[in-house]
Amino acid sequence: MAKRKGSARGRGDKGLSYADAGVDLQSKDAFTESLDSVMRRTFSSRVIPNPGGFAGLFRLDFNEKLFRRNYKDPVLVACADGVGTKVRLAVDLQRYDTVGIDLVAMNINDMIVQGAEPLFFLDYIAVGKVDPHMLGAIVRGVAEGCRRAGCALLGGETAEMAGMYQGRDFDLAGFAVGVVELDRAVRPLRVEVGDVVLGLASDGVHSNGYSLVRKIVAAADLDLSRAHTELGPSAPASRRGRRSRSATGAPTLGDVLLTPTRIYASPIMRLMRGYRVKKVISGMAHITGSGLAGNLCRALNPRVDALVRRSSWSVPPIFRFLQERGGVDDEEMRRVFNMGIGYCVIVKPAFAKAAAQTLARFGERVSVIGEIVKGRGEVREIE
């Protein structure tokens, strides 16, 4: 385990001090020291203790023999991402318990598209001033995301940057590393005519399109604390973090918009482990910015198209709500948002039913949304 660091660097005894510049070293150090127990809850036997270290240590497996049995030609997979302007809503609502989950999800969902097993995660949090309550909630969210993803929160950086961030403003970035057997890495060349496209339901807007979301909220003068029955019943706290509930049980708009991005790692890894020899999965796609068409095409090769039926899944109410309040046309909605499908798995037709049942057994809401046909590497959507 690496000690979480801060960006502050010291303080003189005379004249101007770091505190005068807006950086409180004592508060920063006290906060970073308080996070050890939160991080340790995400550790597996692969994490090597490294108290006070400048970096985290992680063994690729418990011992050499076991590693050789699991991986003959291991390839590391790495990615980096953030949460985007969704953090602005967290600041406005002073609710910080879900964006850490978003941070992990945006990285891990990208990683598992390659068939990689998540190993460890690191975060970077930039603030104007250390607020232990706010930062603690964010890091606990990151730890919860790592727990759901099955990876270790190995370390991080808390940067107190007075003058760069005002008030409660902050930003997040995350970095993930995983491993995949080279022969099992998922690549577009495997996708063939006749393959079936499975869509895994999203938990709402996830973490893309929030600049448009915030524009709609402002233009329509929407109250984030108001409950809306058309948005459905309020989800349990175990799934979505701390919620505010109305007398009717309906969620507030803020509740729905801060619902964290679903993490698909566990069911996808379990599905892949069920087929250690047969290559049942042809391709996968994490549906983020640019929507279904703009992301599913990345899983295709130039000889095939994905024919997707829009009527094959239910669009969550939040998207219709935003579209009506903002007067956004259908094409723009599909271009910006996931519209209810957060992840796609392309499978061989003979295994499509079994794969769908397996994913459903592991908690996913699965729809057969299309098939692979001859084409040019594009996604064609039909009603």
Per-domain residue ranges of the chain: 5-184, 188-208+260-382
Confidence at residue 26, expressed as pLDDT on a 0 to 100 scale: 63
Distance CA 33, CA 18 (A): 20
Confidence at residue 8, expressed as pLDDT on a 0 to 100 scale: 45
Pairing of strands 281-286, 74-82: unpaired
Distance CA 264, CA 81 (A): 16
Which helix (H) or strand (E) element contains residue 129?
A: none
pLDDT category, 146, cuts 50, 70, 90? very high
Which helix (H) or strand (E) element contains residue 290?
A: none
Confidence at residue 25, expressed as pLDDT on a 0 to 100 scale: 57
Confidence at residue 12, expressed as pLDDT on a 0 to 100 scale: 47
Confidence at residue 49, expressed as pLDDT on a 0 to 100 scale: 73
Confidence at residue 109, expressed as pLDDT on a 0 to 100 scale: 98
Confidence at residue 61, expressed as pLDDT on a 0 to 100 scale: 63
Share of the chain above pLDDT 70, in %: 81
Confidence at residue 13, expressed as pLDDT on a 0 to 100 scale: 53
Confidence at residue 86, expressed as pLDDT on a 0 to 100 scale: 98
- In CATH terms, 188-208+260-382 corresponds, of 3.40.50.300, 3.40.50.410, 3.40.50.970, 3.90.650.10, to 3.90.650.10
pLDDT category, 228, cuts 50, 70, 90? very high
Class in CATH terms, 5-184: alpha beta
What mean pLDDT is predicted for residues 215-222? 97
Contacts of 376 (CB under 8 A, 6+ apart): 302, 303, 305
What mean pLDDT is predicted for residues 145-165? 93
Contacts of 365 (CB under 8 A, 6+ apart): 200, 201
pLDDT category, 235, cuts 50, 70, 90? very low
Q: Is 168 helix (H, G, I), strand (E, B) or coil?
A: coil
Confidence at residue 57, expressed as pLDDT on a 0 to 100 scale: 72
Distance CA 128, CA 183 (A): 46
pTM: predicted TM-score of the whole model, two decimal places: 0.86
Would you say residue 196 has pLDDT above 90?
yes
Domains 5-184 and 188-208+260-382 share a fold: no
Which range among 271-275, 339-343, 345-349, 366-370 shows the weakest confidence by mean pLDDT? 271-275
Would you say residue 364 has pLDDT above 60?
yes
Contacts of 38 (CB under 8 A, 6+ apart): 136, 139, 140, 143, 153
Residue 159 CA, distance from chain mean position: 22
Would you say residue 4 has pLDDT above 70?
no
